[in-house]
Amino acid sequence: MNYDIIGDIHGQYDKLIGLLNHLGYEETNGIWSHNTHTAIFVGDLIDNTHVESGISHIKTVRLVKAMVEAGSALCIMGNHEFNAIAWMTPDPEDQTTFLREHTPNNDNQHKNFLAEVGENSPLHHEIIEWFKTLPLWLDLPAGIRVIHAAWIEEYQAVLKPYLTENNCLTDELVIKASRKGSAEYVALEALCKGLEIELPEGHGFKDKHGARRTGIRIRWWKNLTESTYKEVALVPEDARDSIPDLPIEQLNLKAKGYTGVPVFFGHYWFSGQPEPVANNIACVDYSAGKSGDTPLVAYRWEGESVLTEAGFMFAV
């Protein structure tokens, strides 16, 4: 099997059409497909804080859903699809609230999607029901794996008892994974949002909003037991000098370095020239969600066990 693994779209419909054309997909009766390749979407189809002519949440979801239903694509769940489900699911313990709180911050991330589909409309319900059918990860017989942010088997094992046989969420897991601090919450956060660790006492950095932070997102694919904070930190370049070049102290490390078959993920808003982060690991999110000409990126996989820069494709 040949697969095109496509990064986070965040409603950028025009970029999606541009990429599908570039990859040689064709539209027949409203459904995009390719003769020899199957598309795989890594999640985060929705949520863009901008309103622009090239952005359409509805058209993006409809296009991907039609491909999945026709068998020309697979799609997994991103953190934004999970959030969308939790946003409209009443808390069974307090029916006046929702599993994802309707706070101003949460609303800000989601409001453009809600405005487009019409909150609580039949279309909104239809889309959320479809999101619930998206698996959390794919482990394909052809020899590739796909997850939204981080492939960490210890956390996958935590969720496995609450997943369907196709690795989709059950209603029970949507509730459990919405309870801050629960094992299921921690596991889902890690898989869909990546690993974070605390810096040693007294260390911190300024994020892009100028706020001081003491926790860092990390390169989960590195062997953390042999790395320093500075080596694994995923922080803005101008913050890197603030990160200590000290061995990582945390004892409950989940990531010992990934050594399996090729794994693809999105989520990280990478920039620059796309390239694998290791022979068997590649991120396909190069910030297509941003305005302007940041590309929607795909990796065209044709059976290789060593991933290469040449495998990345995007319309320029």
Residues forming contacts to Mn ion in the complex (CB under 5 A) are 44, 78-79, 267
Q: How far apart are CA 234 and CA 51, in angstroms?
A: 28
Nearer to Mn ion, 148 or 222 (CB): 148
Nearest to 44 by CA among 62, 57, 31: 57
The beta strands (E) that lie in the chain are given as 3-6, 26-28, 31-33, 38-41, 73-75, 90-91, 94-98, 137-140, 144-147, 196-198, 205-206, 212-213, 215-218, 233-234, 263-265, 281-283, 298-301, 312-313
DSSP class of residue 260 equals S
* Least gap, CB of 43 to Mn ion (angstroms): 7
Report the b/e string of 229-263 with b at 16+ CB within 10 A. Answer: beebbbbeeebeebbeeeebeeeeebbeebeeebb
How far is the C-alpha of 194 from the C-alpha of 224, rounded, in Å? Answer: 14
Name the residue whose CB lies closest to Mn ion. Answer: 267
Compute the distance between CA of residue 312 and CA of residue 316 in angstroms, rounded to an integer: 12
Min dist CB 48 to Mn ion, Å, is: 12
Which residues are within 8 A (CB) of 143 and not within 5 positions of it... i.e. 6 or more apart? 261, 262, 303, 305
* CB distance 266 to 8 below 8 Å: yes
Contact of 7 with 297, CB cutoff 8 Å: yes
Total residues found in the chain within this entry: 316
Q: At closest approach, how far in Å is the CB of 228 from Mn ion?
A: 26
